[in-house]
């Protein structure tokens, strides 16, 4: 579903992604972890063309998302992306936030888009908030709306970049449970997260990144119980200490 081959990224003199090759199969859940500044956001953003790369290739669902002349807006509309900041449209209701993609991009009739949005809001437990505006919702609720909005485009893949990092601790669980449910339905997902319990329970593979290099790719039991790379060991013991 996602194939990365020899991906390199330079920010000027800074080598942010170093020869990254990896594959995500359909239905797999990958948790991407690593220290701050290791290149996780750069990599996941490159997967939907938000960030260009310097060399290599990235294919998502058969499409070269970094190819010359690709319609990047179309690619982005086809790959679900959930950010740390929810990025909802403040002047649109929850229902409109979720239905606007299908209406604006796919020209879905408004009625049908509203029904779809209501179904998706029910799925994330927020049907009763359809008429509310983003500033009337808690952070956890806004993030669940953001997930519903991404799902409205019926993407084959969902990418998450630290979706719970901006939330108060009591709201982390409600967002993770929506993500767990998606994973259980077989959605292909790449999640940058520091939620190690989620990683252990839900992921099929953990990718560990440091200094732009994908140092380890392992099933969660193996990654957490006996990480191979010393930097992965140090990262995990750091996380456990906190
Ligand atoms: P992570 O998400 O793992 O914390 P990032 O992918 O955001 O890491 O960043 C990786 C490295 O690239 C960091 O050292 C960061 O400072 C650098 N970087 C990120 N974006 C830019 C940019 N637009 N210009 C220059 N350097 C950047
Ligand atoms: Mg990041």
pLDDT in tens, 146-164: 999 999 999 999 999 999 9
Binned at pLDDT 50, 70 and 90, residue 174 comes out as very high
Q: How far is the CA of 4 from the centre of ligand 1 (A)?
A: 19
Asked whether residue 36 carries a pLDDT value surpassing 90, the answer given is yes
> Which pLDDT score, from 0 to 100, does residue 156 have?
94
Whole-model pTM: value is 0.96
Asked whether residue 121 carries a pLDDT value surpassing 90, the answer given is yes
Q: 42 CB less than 6 Å from ligand 1?
A: yes
Which atom of ligand 1 is least distant from the CA of 38? 3
* Residue matched to tokens 């009337």: 136
Q: How far is the CA of 80 from the centre of ligand 2 (A)?
A: 17
Report the phi/psi class of residue 90: left, alpha or beta, with left for phi > 0 and alpha for psi in -120 to 50.
Answer: alpha
Q: Mean pLDDT in the chain?
A: 96
Which atom of ligand 1 is least distant from the CA of 209? 3
> Which pLDDT score, from 0 to 100, does residue 230 have?
96
Tokens standing for 236?
A: 């995990």
Closest ligand to residue 14's CA = 1
Closest ligand to residue 33's CA = 1
> Which pLDDT score, from 0 to 100, does residue 126 have?
97
Closest ligand to residue 42's CA = 1
Q: What are phi and psi of 208, to 5 degrees?
A: -110, 130
Q: Identify whether the C-beta of residue 102 lies closer than 8 Å to the C-beta of residue 161.
A: no
Tokens standing for 185?
A: 């339905």
Mutation pick for ligand 1 pocket among 7, 8, 10, 14 (CB with most ligand atoms within 8 Å): 14
Asked whether residue 76 carries a pLDDT value surpassing 90, the answer given is no
Q: Identify whether the C-beta of residue 98 lies closer than 8 Å to the C-beta of residue 120.
A: yes
Dist. CA 220–CA 235, nearest whole Å: 15
């Amino acid at each position: 579903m996602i194939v990365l081959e020899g991906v390199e990224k330079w920010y000027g003199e800074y080598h942010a992604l170093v020869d990254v090759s990896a594959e995500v199969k359909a239905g797999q859940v990958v948790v991407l972890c690593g220290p701050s500044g290791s290149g996780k956001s750069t990599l996941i953003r490159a997967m939907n063309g938000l960030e260009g790369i310097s060399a290599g290739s990235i294919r998502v669902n058969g499409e070269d998302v970094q190819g010359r002349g690709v319609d990047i807006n179309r690619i982005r509309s086809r790959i679900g992306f959930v950010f740390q900041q929810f990025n909802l449209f403040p002047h649109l209701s929850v229902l409109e936030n979720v239905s606007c993609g299908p209406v604006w991009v796919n020209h879905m009739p408004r009625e049908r888009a509203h029904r779809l949005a209501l179904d998706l809001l029910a799925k994330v437990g927020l049907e009763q908030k359809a008429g509310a505006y983003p500033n009337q919702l808690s952070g956890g609720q806004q993030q669940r709306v953001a997930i519903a909005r991404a799902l409205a485009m019926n993407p084959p893949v969902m990418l998450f970049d630290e979706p719970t990092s901006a939330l108060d601790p009591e709201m982390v669980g409600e967002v993770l449970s929506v993500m767990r449910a998606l994973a259980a339905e077989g959605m292909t997902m790449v999640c940058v997260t520091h939620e190690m319990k989620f990683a252990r329970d839900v992921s099929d593979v953990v990718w560990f990144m440091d200094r732009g290099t994908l140092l380890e790719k392992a099933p969660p039991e193996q990654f957490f119980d006996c990480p191979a790379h010393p930097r992965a060991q140090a990262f995990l013991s750091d996380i456990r200490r906190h």
